[in-house]
Amino acid sequence: MEEAGFDLTLQPTTRGRSRSVQHVHDVSHTSWSSNMSLNDISHLLDVQRVPEVTSHSSWTSNVSLNDVSHLLDVQHVPEVMSHTSWTSNVSLNDVSHLLDVQRVPEVTSHTSWTSNVSLNDVSHLLDVQHVPDVSHTSWTSNMSLNDVSHLLDVQHVPEVSQTSWTSSLSLNVSNLLVVQHVPEVTSHSSWTSSLSLNDVSHLLDVQHVPEATSHTSWTSNVSLNDISHLLDVQHVPEATSHTSWSSNMSLNDVSHLLDVQHVPDVSHTSWSSNMSLNDVSHLLDVQHVPDVSHTSWSSNMSLNDVSHLLDVQHVPEVMSHTSWTSNMSLNDISHLLDVQHVPEVTSHTSWTSNMSLNNVSHLLDVQHVPEVTSHTSWTSNMSLNDVSNLLDVQHVPEVMSHTSWTSNMSLKCLKPPGRPVEL
């Protein structure tokens, strides 16, 4: 440990009570060196609550900024910013999603955003609403509009609206314009039947551009997949009423198109046992289509198919009729069950030491399933990356106090509260 420059052992406080990461100043004794894999501890530590770590850490120019992405919230660690030199040769893509430029005006003011800067690099980095200087850039017609996607909120950059968006313009500006606030764009554009509807997906909010829908003929031979994510059927009843949703229609085509809650007629469709459940994934909100619950979910059914389809919290019948066995692929039910509300699942399941922790990542909220942690043996050969996003150490103080974070960042041991720590 001394050779690697680490000493991250956490000790329990008196009377068996432990300290959460928020108050574990011992962490400040750790030396974050350039050869440490910061990615391993990404999403594990909330540096906001451990200011000692940042103050004792030397963030140099050769540190891979991408490694610390999503680790630091620079808004709350101003010291890191002031001690770091963000130069012009720094890959802006590396700091994407790392900095909230709204709170770090120094970065933008000291940086020269020129016309030859790759706009794609700064995508999702700048919130143009709060960096008016960027608006002084000349957005010309030959600029790749795809580059500025998700970069500009046109609502707050009226100068951009003065650009002439013609019919020959590449409609691949999806997610760039909020048409609600740029009426000129729609009025100057001819949305014809020969237009690739897929191009304008995520571009128009049909709710506020009734002209587009009224002038367009949505016929039965139109590829429904093309208009997916385009129409909010809730507000375009004409589209649904004029369309014949038949039993042989590819349900996958209408996925994310219909909100079944507001199109009860769709519920008259016969959802049979041989129907591909994957097709209707993200289509039905079973909470509001009780008829679907009459379907027989059997043990040989691919659970992955119904992932993100059922909210088990509200379909207890499905749970009771399903046998969740020990040989079931946990990855299949990932994001399907909210274990917080289905305690029976955890109690009837054997979480063993040889279970792939990566499988249960994002599945269990250990905060609310203490039994799972107490019955699980976290050994020294466990990959920390596996438990990333699994444990919120702040709220599982027992794990921290009974665990030895060594120089190789591997978990030493985990025992239930009150038991001796075995190193």
pLDDT at site 117: 34
**pLDDT confidence of residue 339:** 36
Residue 36 has a pLDDT of 32
CA distance 363 to 392: 13
Instruction: Spell out the residues 6+ positions from residue 150 whose beta carbon is closer than 8 angstroms to its own.
Output: 123, 124, 175, 176
In a domain, 119, yes or no: no
Structure tokens at 141: 């017609």
Question: What does the pLDDT read at residue 393?
Answer: 35
Residue 52, in any domain of the structure: no
**Paired tokens of 353:** 């030491």
Helix (H, G, I), strand (E, B) or coil at 405: strand
Asked, for residue 91, whether it belongs to a domain, the answer is no
Q: How many domains are there within the chain?
A: 1
Tokens of 66: 């991408």
**On the CB side of 335, how many CA atoms lie within 13 Å of its CA?**
9
CA dist list (Å): 142 to 73, 147, 169, 206: 36, 11, 10, 28
Give the pLDDT confidence score for residue 154 in this predicted structure. 35
pLDDT for 243 = 37
The tens digit of pLDDT for each residue in 13-40 reads 333 333 222 222 223 223 333 323 333 3
Half-sphere exposure of 350 (CA within 13 A, CB side): 6
Residue 262 belongs to domain spanning? 203-208+227-239+253-266
pLDDT at 94: 33
> In this structure, what are the phi and psi dihedrals at residue 57, rounded to the nearest 5 degrees?
-105, 140
pLDDT at 7: 34
The predicted pLDDT at position 325 comes to: 35
- Residue 396's alpha-carbon distances to 216, 393, 403, 407, 413, in angstroms, are 56, 5, 11, 21, 14
Query: Could you give the percent of the chain with pLDDT greater than 70?
Result: 0
In a domain, 234, yes or no: yes
Give the span between the Cα atoms of 18 and 305, in whole angstroms.
42
CB crowding 392-418: b at 16 or more within 10 Å, else e: bbbebbbbbbbbbbbbebbbbebbeee
At 339-368, the pLDDT tens digits run 333 333 333 333 333 333 333 333 333 333
Residue 235 lies in a domain: yes
pLDDT given for residue 19 in this prediction? 28
Residue 411 has phi, psi (to 5 degrees) of -75, 125
Q: Is residue 181 part of a domain?
A: no
Q: What is the pLDDT of residue 30?
A: 33
The total of other beta-carbon atoms located within 10 Å of residue 71's CB is 16
Task: Find out whether 412 and 404 touch, Cβ atoms under 8 Å.
Answer: yes
Q: Measured between alpha carbons, how far is 394 from 317 in angstroms, rounded to an integer? A: 35
List the chain residues with pLDDT less than 50. Answer: 1-423
Chain centroid, CA 269 distance in Å:
32
Residue 268 confidence (pLDDT): 33
Residue 399 CA to residue 412 CA, distance in Å, equals: 11
At residue 385, the 3 state secondary structure works out as: helix
Q: Which pLDDT score is estimated for 340? A: 32
